Amino acid sequence: MEIINTTDDYFFLENGGEAAEIIRNLDWSSNSLGRPEIWPENLKNTLATLLPSKFPMFLWWGNDLIQFYNDAYRPSFGEQGKHPKAMGQKAKDCWPEIWDFLAPHITNILATGESVWYENMLLPIHRNGKLEDVYWTFSYSPVRGDDRQIEGVLVVCNETTNTVNHNKQLQNSKDELLFAIEAAELGTFDLNPITNRFSANNRLKSWFGLQPDDEIALHVATDVIAEADRDNVIKAIEDALKFELGGKYEIEYTIIHPVTKEEKIVRAKGRAWFNENKEAYRFNGILQDITEHKKANDEIVKSRQLTDLTMQTMGMGVFNVDFATNNIEYSAEFAALISGSKIKDLSRMDFVKYIHPDDLGLRLEAIEQGLTTGKFYYTPRVIWDDGSIHHIAISGARIVDSKGNPKTFSGTGIDITERERSRAALQQAEHRLEQTKREANAMFRNVTDSSPTGLWLADKQGMLTYLNNTLVEWTGIPYSELLGIGWTNAIIEEDRQMAAEVFEEAVNSLSHYDVLFRIKKATGKIVWCRAAGDPFFDESGKYAGYAGFCMDMDEIIASRKALTESEERFSLMIKQAPVGICLFTGLDMKIEIANDIMIGYWGKDKSVMGKPLEVAIPELVGQPFLSLLQEVYLTGVPYEAVSTPARLEVDGKLSTFYFDFTYKPIRDIHGNIYGIMDIAVDVTERVLASQKLDDTRIALAGAIELAELATWQLDIKNKTFSYSKRFMDWLGFTEDTKAMDEAYNPLPNDYRKLVSDAIQAAILPGSSGIYDNEHPIINRVTGQVRIIHATARVFYNSDGMPAYLSGTAQDVTKERKLQEELTFKIRKSTAELRHANTELEINNKELQQFAYIASHDLQEPVRKISVFIQMLENYITSDPEKAKIYIEKINNSAKRMTTLIKDVLGFSELANSTKVFENVDLEEVIENILSDFDLTIEQKEATIIYQNLPKLKAIPLQMGQLFGNLISNALKYSRQDVKPVIKVISSKLNDNDKKLFSIDNSLDYYKIEIIDNGIGFNQKYAEQIFNIFQRLHGKNEFAGTGIGLAMCRKIVQNHNGDIKAFSEEGKGTTFVVVIPEE
């Protein structure tokens, strides 16, 4: 196997990246260069320089011009290109598409050694799966071999495709900008801040009346500016030339032609350019003639301000809905009208929630009507956030685009509560309000509708190649159909041929084009338009086409007409407004204008017109209104008030009425106050109703407080709970609103899911909507636990979906504790009675056993003693030996009777002894028992095992008796041929095993097992062995009285436990003792 020293022979590949790895892994054995180990040193050194370079490079070497390149050149191959196959490939095979260009240069370099260099050379190459135009800046230079002869060509290159394309786009953009400037009829300037001289296009020079010099002194141009604007313009130029102010320049001013004295309003925009020293070296920009638009806009602004002031003073709210996004824009007054406060960021559905549920049908009917007519109007009631109910009127209309498609939905709203005093008056006011809104909307559209100038480009033949969207919107003709000569189709037939001929003549003569014609807009309206344009030329000076504009000449006429209509509608609006409106003029507040509603408020007739207010309504003297009006007149600060009382004489009676009113100053064109507009709404019924509502709320709050109830509410949509002060105190909360997850924290863990499920069931659509639950809560601060009884009902929104769950909570802790105590006492008494019955049954059973003892077991020794005494009398003299036998039998019977009596007394003490429980360690008890039985254990060679025995509350003496009897039995009943093994083990009694014993399942128990390997017994006797004096073996076979196991059961019963035996003959017995842990 051949071992290659890559460290020495492949040094030139170090830090060469992916390209080096490709070279390392190529099979060079079939290449004309051979293995890298034999490559010329100069080739290796050249590659050592080329591969790690970050500049794109590649190398052709040898007669076959084998190719190498680095990672920096790799991106030039593109995706799905020549890489990595190009590495080690012959140049001719790699570059067939440009070999006719490469071959002569490579041959010349190899022959002469002369280098070549090209910049931004187009060399198409095959990459990314296709032949692409690629631009290069590159140099070819010779590389010499070890023998100093030229062996290769080194190419250092950089792809400049993006740069070339960018420059082309930049030039195109520059050309388009020049076209746009000419088409838009803009003036341009370029100022040298050092010489303070500027150059400008002919249009700007014409406006300023300047000479056609190449450069003009700045002061020559500023002298033409109107005196009122001149200083501001000079200051704006000076500020723009200051680096720290940002170099921006934008201002509007008036110029006066020095010869014709024509005034022209222009908008100037520009910027300054700064060097590294923050000094301005250039200042250029544009000027736009905005004279006509400015005049029209000034008129529109004045009309719009008057309209806005009227709507504000009338208390109208405005809204606009975008059909595409369903977003709503609205004024603060509209929000206050719907909700009672100027709340922001409400959605359409948020507003719908305020509509009275009984009036949602009115909204649906209005929407349905609006889909047909494009307009809608309805008068719903709304419920404000404070719970008060108000009547409002909503009117609006769809706004369509040039194609007739609905785009937005706009309208107004106004409070019409006071009109509910009279249904007939309300209907009449609604009609007037609807008419006013329609006219106001129409006026608004007429005043504000304006179109920017249309722009177009045509080719050398006069065929339109570009036009802006303004022309498309005007004509309603698709963009593609307006191109070429399609634009003529927008011109009405009478003007079409003339307009086309004028344009054709201009194109043929390359002259200025300017013509007036009429077009039919998408709305069907025929308007006059002015179209103008000029030829433009490419960078080489060749004619390239035409650029121009198209202006709607009806805009200015429409603006002026809109102003006139606005003033007429303003007067009509005041007369027909659904609220009281009047205009006072002068400091004496002469009544200039007053509608019928306002005169009706005063209780007067039209004779008050033209009179000072204190003369027309003398009862106002001494009330604050006259001084308030004079203060607004003198200070210019508006004044607003709500629910303000006023004493007025109406129908010959002086009474108190309540008004919402606004005093707003009215200024002339010079900004001087000449009058006060008074907008008033009679809210007497609302105030009186509000006072009654307040009384009702106070009474309700008193009832809730008297009942010590807490109130709460769940906002279903936002998933938040809100609480009353009492509920917050119960929960330990400092905030009255909590998120749903946080609101469940005061609940014990076992109740959180139960409460959550109950609430979800109540708010589920289709459910009863009633929540009734009782559960504990824990104060988050004090830890106090309360039991509350919470009830609530669901309230639904206009769509029939649950909106919120509102209800009360009552603290029932004391009642439940009393119930628990009563239940506990009943349970305790029942348990005591059950225990007493059990003991009575046991005592009865024991009594029966004692009766048996008295009739059998205790009598049997007495009978034997009596018989043996008679036999002793017969043999005491005749047979002394036999007499001794009878005397011994009499003694034995007497001892047995003594034992029986002693055991019976001991058993009796178990039932009657005082139960004093102490801490008992069962391991110590077992140790003491084993000490007593040590001799027996030794004789029988018994093994006693005990482990993990508990400590428990018990009667120490009885525990010794219990386990002493059980271990004694295990030793006594052992098998003669088997050494006794006795185990005492302990564990916790599980719930399943509790079913096997007569115990209280609610307590925890120890299970103690005494297991032996003795003689055992038949399991059918497992219960019998615990009866007193019951034995399974004769007295002669095993000693005892038969009372030991009965005592064990009695002891276990004394400890509220149980004992059972499990056995099999010949295999041993297990006694299971269960005793409570406490």
At 433-457, the pLDDT tens digits run 466 445 544 443 333 234 467 778 8
Whole-angstrom distance, CA of residue 310 vs CA of residue 332: 16
First to last CA, the chain: 86
Residues 279 and 365 placed together within one structural domain of the fold: no
753 inside domain: yes
Which of 61-65, 277-281, 858-862, 1060-1064 has the weakest average pLDDT? 858-862
- Residue 658 pLDDT class (50, 70, 90 cuts): very high
- Residue 1076 pLDDT class (50, 70, 90 cuts): very high
Q: Are strands 951-954 and 770-778 parallel, antiparallel or unpaired?
A: unpaired
473 in Cβ contact with 522 (< 8 Å): yes
SS3 at position 955: coil
Residues 1072 and 924 placed together within one structural domain of the fold: yes
With pLDDT > 70 as the criterion, what percentage of the chain qualifies? 79
The CATH number given to whatever domain includes residue 971 is 3.30.565.10
pLDDT for the residue 487: 85
Classify residue 341 by its DSSP letter.
S
295 inside domain: no
pLDDT for the residue 699: 57
For residue 525, give every residue at least 6 positions away whose Cβ sits within 8 Å of its Cβ, in sequence order, or none: none
SS3 at position 80: coil
Ramachandran category for residue 120: left, alpha or beta (phi over 0 → left; psi -120 to 50 → alpha): left
- Residue 378 pLDDT class (50, 70, 90 cuts): confident
Residues 141 and 201 placed together within one structural domain of the fold: no
pLDDT for the residue 443: 42
Compute the average pLDDT of residues 146-160: 87
Which residue has better confidence, 180 or 693?
693
Closest CA to 1026 of 833, 788, 776, 849: 849
pLDDT for the residue 440: 42
Whole-angstrom distance, CA of residue 97 vs CA of residue 164: 21
- Residue 1014 pLDDT class (50, 70, 90 cuts): very high
pLDDT for the residue 448: 28
Residue 1005, H or E segment:
strand 1005-1011
pLDDT for the residue 444: 30
Which of 634-648, 765-779, 899-913, 1003-1017 has the weakest average pLDDT? 899-913
pLDDT for the residue 923: 92
872 inside domain: no
pLDDT for the residue 913: 52
Instruction: Give the model confidence (pLDDT) of 793-819 as tens digits.
Output: 988 887 778 888 888 888 888 878 877
The total number of structural domains that make up the chain: 7
Both tokens of 258, joined, read 């020095």
Instruction: Give the model confidence (pLDDT) of 669-681 as tens digits.
Output: 778 999 999 999 8
CA separation, residue 725 to residues 13, 500, 1018 (Å): 81, 82, 74
Compute the average pLDDT of residues 912-933: 83
pLDDT for the residue 445: 34
Show the DSSP H helices in 152-257 as ranges. Answer: 161-183, 202-208, 218-222, 227-240
Whole-angstrom distance, CA of residue 43 vs CA of residue 66: 11
Residues 438 and 463 placed together within one structural domain of the fold: no
CA dihedral 493, 497, 500, 502 (to 10 degrees): -130
With pLDDT > 90 as the criterion, what percentage of the chain qualifies? 23
Residue 695, H or E segment:
helix 684-706
Residue 45, phi then psi, degrees to nearest 5: -65, -40
Closest CA to 786 of 717, 713, 851, 727: 727
461 in Cβ contact with 545 (< 8 Å): no
**Which of 159, 181, 198 lies at the terminal end of a domain, its last residue?**
159
- Residue 204 pLDDT class (50, 70, 90 cuts): confident
Classify residue 1025 by its DSSP letter.
G
pLDDT for the residue 673: 92
833 inside domain: no
1053 in Cβ contact with 842 (< 8 Å): yes
1048 inside domain: yes
Which residue has better confidence, 68 or 373?
68
For CA atoms 548, 549, 553, 554, the dihedral sign is positive
pLDDT for the residue 768: 85
CB atoms under 10 Å from CB of 179, counted, come to 20
Burial 236-267 (b: 16+ CB within 10 A, else e): bbebbbeeeeebebebebbbbeeeeeeebbbb
867 inside domain: no
Both tokens of 550, joined, read 């198209």
Residues 117 and 241 placed together within one structural domain of the fold: no
505 in Cβ contact with 514 (< 8 Å): no
Which of 230-244, 255-269, 862-876, 1046-1060 has the weakest average pLDDT? 862-876
Residues 618 and 681 placed together within one structural domain of the fold: yes
User: Peptide bond preceding 75: is omega within 30 degrees of 0, i.e. cis?
Assistant: no
Whole-angstrom distance, CA of residue 995 vs CA of residue 1001: 8
pLDDT for the residue 895: 56
Compute the average pLDDT of residues 58-65: 91
pLDDT for the residue 659: 92
pLDDT for the residue 584: 93
230 in Cβ contact with 254 (< 8 Å): no
Burial 321-333 (b: 16+ CB within 10 A, else e): beeeeeebebbeb
Q: Are strands 543-552 and 1005-1011 parallel, antiparallel or unpaired?
A: unpaired
DSSP string across 761-808: HHHSTTS--EEEEEEEEE-TTT--EEEEEEEEEEEE-TTS-EEEEEEE
pLDDT for the residue 412: 85
SS3 of 9-31: HCHHHCCCHHHHHHHHHCCHHHC
Both tokens of 419, joined, read 């009109």
Compute the average pLDDT of residues 868-890: 65
pLDDT for the residue 1039: 47
Residues 369 and 320 placed together within one structural domain of the fold: yes
**Which of 429, 448, 467 lies at the terminal end of a domain, its last residue?**
448
Instruction: Give the model confidence (pLDDT) of 390-409 as tens digits.
Output: 888 888 888 877 677 777 87
Q: Is the pLDDT of residue 465 over 60?
A: yes
881 inside domain: no
Q: With 0-12 CB in 10 A as exposed, 13-18 as middle and 19+ as buried, what is 1032? A: middle
Residues 733 and 625 placed together within one structural domain of the fold: no
pLDDT for the residue 490: 87
pLDDT for the residue 610: 92
Which residue has better confidence, 355 or 896?
355
pLDDT for the residue 75: 81
Whole-angstrom distance, CA of residue 764 vs CA of residue 276: 71
Residue 414, H or E segment:
strand 406-415
879 in Cβ contact with 885 (< 8 Å): no
Whole-angstrom distance, CA of residue 983 vs CA of residue 967: 9
Residues 679 and 638 placed together within one structural domain of the fold: yes
pLDDT for the residue 294: 79
Residues 147 and 118 placed together within one structural domain of the fold: yes
379 inside domain: yes
**Which of 236, 258, 289 lies at the terminal end of a domain, its last residue?**
289
- Residue 365 pLDDT class (50, 70, 90 cuts): confident
Residues 956 and 1067 placed together within one structural domain of the fold: yes
SS3 at position 958: helix
pLDDT for the residue 144: 92
pLDDT for the residue 429: 45
Compute the average pLDDT of residues 332-341: 86
Residue type for 126, please?
A: H
Compute the average pLDDT of residues 885-906: 57
- Residue 3 pLDDT class (50, 70, 90 cuts): very low
- Residue 471 pLDDT class (50, 70, 90 cuts): confident
- Domain with 711 in it: 707-811
CA separation, residue 179 to residues 206, 502, 555, 975, 1020 (Å): 19, 21, 25, 126, 119
Both tokens of 751, joined, read 């109740």
pLDDT for the residue 925: 92
Residues 932 and 1001 placed together within one structural domain of the fold: yes
Q: Which of 116-125, 166-175, 834-843, 984-993 has the highest mean pLDDT?
A: 984-993
Query: Is the pTM above the cut of 0.85?
Result: no
Q: Using only C-alpha atoms, what is the Rg of the chain?
A: 57
383 in Cβ contact with 389 (< 8 Å): yes
Axis-axis angle for helices 956-972, 922-932 (nearest 10): 50
pLDDT for the residue 646: 94
Residue type for 21, please?
A: E
Q: Is the pLDDT of residue 758 over 50?
A: yes
Residue 517, phi then psi, degrees to nearest 5: -155, 170
For residue 680, give every residue at least 6 positions away whose Cβ sits within 8 Å of its Cβ, in sequence order, or none: 579, 580, 581, 598, 601, 659, 660, 661, 662
Average pLDDT, the chain: 81
Closest CA to 67 of 44, 37, 47, 91: 91
- Residue 626 pLDDT class (50, 70, 90 cuts): very high
Axis-axis angle for helices 880-912, 859-875 (nearest 10): 160
The CATH number given to whatever domain includes residue 367 is 3.30.450.20
Instruction: Give the model confidence (pLDDT) of 78-128 as tens digits.
Output: 777 788 888 999 989 988 888 988 899 899 988 898 888 888 777 777 676
DSSP string across 700-720: HHHHHHHTTEEEEEEETTTTE
- Residue 508 pLDDT class (50, 70, 90 cuts): very high
Whole-angstrom distance, CA of residue 620 vs CA of residue 618: 5
pLDDT for the residue 255: 92
